[in-house]
Structure 1
């Protein structure tokens, strides 16, 4: 037997595992205070059903296996949002709309990327099922910000995007051959001016309409001479106004990576010290079993990026010398201390990774 784990998997050791659990609890509590109640879907589902609810091609990223009981093909979830959509559609289909749900759990991807090498990660989020209005987006973005603050994240920023921008323009003032809409989206996402010019040069100004929020909005308004984007831009301003100066805001209207199934709004969440975005959100559509559609708005956070390294986690442990009365330890725990009792006379605070020692009924820092 070997102690090595498969590529993309890792153990969560102390104090990292405790810190991760604390972050998760604080994020869920922030959502609960807005009325979002937790659901806990199973790790695996029938592959066919899960694939139907995932974004296009999503099942290609799922680990699949044959269930020895049913002999059906099951899939381990690569994303939790699709499962929450199933719960809202089927199990809570009778619930008055909107329904507010939160979740946290492990997701598993078949493959990993160089930028995100972990295949097993923790996902935390909240979904507002039944609305994708400006008011819904304002609430969801606000919950996401509060959740990040509760998690201890610093230096927050949000990058907004308009996922259906090309479709909206191509169906109106700037027609594009349907066969070229996909390549045009890709070239705009890549900021490839030459590629955009070769497909539809009127779209070139969109490459420059990115950056700090206020100037970017102004550039988009000047570009939108026909007013096709007015309602979307007004909505973005309303969301930004509600946030105020709590976070730094930017706008990249043609960003598509990670927003393949969002509708009129998408946003990426960033925090100081993280190597990439710590979460994403936006508006999207749930497809019910009868084929009907329902709007929704939500966000997901990538828990491992929020926790940071174990070196950033503060340990605060109180060493209780051998022979101390149990009620003395209990009194310390009631005031919030983590107590570590010596179980042998020769045990030491250092051996138990303690920062304080109980002396004469009082916690004293080591070295005092």
Structure 2
């Protein structure tokens, strides 16, 4: 019976064995991909001084600083905060402990994050965040590497039907400078109406010249051609050439679409952003793009996946048989089984039923015996 004190807070949940096995398998597969491509894993702490963490998140993750759990450290009497995003921590490491490391610097990470309040679309308040950062390079080659790395990681995790949606986070700022001039107080309104795809609102905000951008969306080739037609005076040429080169690098590894005015989740990215999707997943599988590390202003490109979001569609790893080790078993034989990849379960007392405990075999001396089908 569940007692009131056994209930978990809203937005938090236990991960039972089957789901935990899926998440663990995904994590291992993704980290193996990152490692194979030369990304070294770092493990920042779960909590830091609030001033440091919030300072590096200022302007980086909109709304996240107010979502952090805070409390006073009894040792230092300073305010601590639980991280709500690991990316700023990786930036801190790159700017401090690894400041002298050769660039480009490739780092990987994986760990839990928590927020005080989640959104209605994603009510979870604890998330397992995994990602990679390529620091010290702001180029088409760097962006291509990171996008391909994210696609490969998702495929290694067992996801299928991968698609990538490109965006240009600084599109309005770039066009507002010369091609389609806007007053400073108009820019935010035009960004907002483009993001919500509201043609009437866009006109009312003074952005009538930006209306063609609403229709430069969809499958990559057609959307890119429409966007090139909009590119009055060549203001976007280098960015569009960059998108084309990144798409060429991806090839047929994933379906590619383009939504140049998408801003949600890309508030801190610079010239390039992308969202990852997979078959069977209602929400995005991950996001990434180019940005500047807060505090050091160093260029970086990276991506983030939230593995617990993907658990429902990830394949269940193949279960290994469980070998029963009866009282008085040969410990060397048992150790040899585990060294070969087997899972063992040791009998602790008389009366234990190996079949009820999930065992499929029993170690009889040095020989494995099948327990047979369960009743």
Query: What's the TM-score once normalised by structure 1's chain length?
Result: 0.92
Structure 1 residue 210 and structure 2 residue 213: aligned? no
Structure 1 residue 367 and structure 2 residue 370: aligned? no
Distance 2:217 2:117 in 1: 31
Residue in structure 2 matched with residue 263 of structure 1 by the alignment = 270
> 8 Å contact 1:62–1:76 — kept in the other structure?
yes
Structure 1 residue 134 and structure 2 residue 137: aligned? no
SS at match of 2:232: coil
Shift of 1:269: 1.0
Distance 1:308 1:316 in 2: 21
Residue in structure 2 matched with residue 14 of structure 1 by the alignment = 17
SS at match of 1:352: coil
Residue in structure 1 matched with residue 55 of structure 2 by the alignment = 52
- Find 1:357's aligned residue among 344, 358, 361: 361
> 8 Å contact 1:263–1:284 — kept in the other structure?
yes
Of stretches 316-325 and 228-237 in structure 1, the one that deviates more from structure 2 is 316-325
Shift of 1:71: 1.3
> 8 Å contact 2:320–2:343 — kept in the other structure?
yes
SS at match of 1:168: helix
Distance 1:337 1:11 in 2: 27
Structure 1 residue 293 and structure 2 residue 300: aligned? no
Residue in structure 1 matched with residue 91 of structure 2 by the alignment = 85
- Find 2:322's aligned residue among 318, 325, 339: 318
Are residues 74 and 214 of structure 1, via their aligned partners in 2, closer, same or farther at CA, if it must alter by over 3 Å?
same
Structure 1 residue 281 and structure 2 residue 288: aligned? yes
Distance 1:365 1:160 in 2: 54
Are residues 154 and 178 of structure 1, via their aligned partners in 2, closer, same or farther at CA, if it must alter by over 3 Å?
same
Query: What's the TM-score once normalised by structure 2's chain length?
Result: 0.90
> 8 Å contact 1:126–1:298 — kept in the other structure?
yes
> 8 Å contact 2:322–2:358 — kept in the other structure?
no
Structure 1 residue 101 and structure 2 residue 121: aligned? no
| Aligned pairs for 1:97-176 within 5 A | 97-176=103-182
Distance 2:190 2:74 in 1: 46
Residue in structure 1 matched with residue 188 of structure 2 by the alignment = 182
| Aligned pairs for 1:23-62 within 5 A | 23-54=26-57, 55=60, 56-62=62-68
> 8 Å contact 1:322–1:345 — kept in the other structure?
no
Shift of 1:81: 0.3
Structure 1 segments unaligned to the other structure (5+ residues): none
Q: Deviations for 1:4-30, whole angstroms, at most 9, x for unmatched residues?
A: 011111122213223322221221121
Residue in structure 1 matched with residue 338 of structure 2 by the alignment = 333
Structure 1 residue 308 and structure 2 residue 312: aligned? yes
Distance 2:153 2:336 in 1: 32
Residue in structure 1 matched with residue 76 of structure 2 by the alignment = 70
Distance 1:57 1:358 in 2: 55
SS at match of 2:13: coil
Are residues 363 and 96 of structure 1, via their aligned partners in 2, closer, same or farther at CA, if it must alter by over 3 Å?
farther
Structure 2 segments unaligned to the other structure (5+ residues): none
Residue in structure 1 matched with residue 200 of structure 2 by the alignment = 194
Shift of 1:328: 4.3
Are residues 90 and 213 of structure 1, via their aligned partners in 2, closer, same or farther at CA, if it must alter by over 3 Å?
same
Aligned length: 364
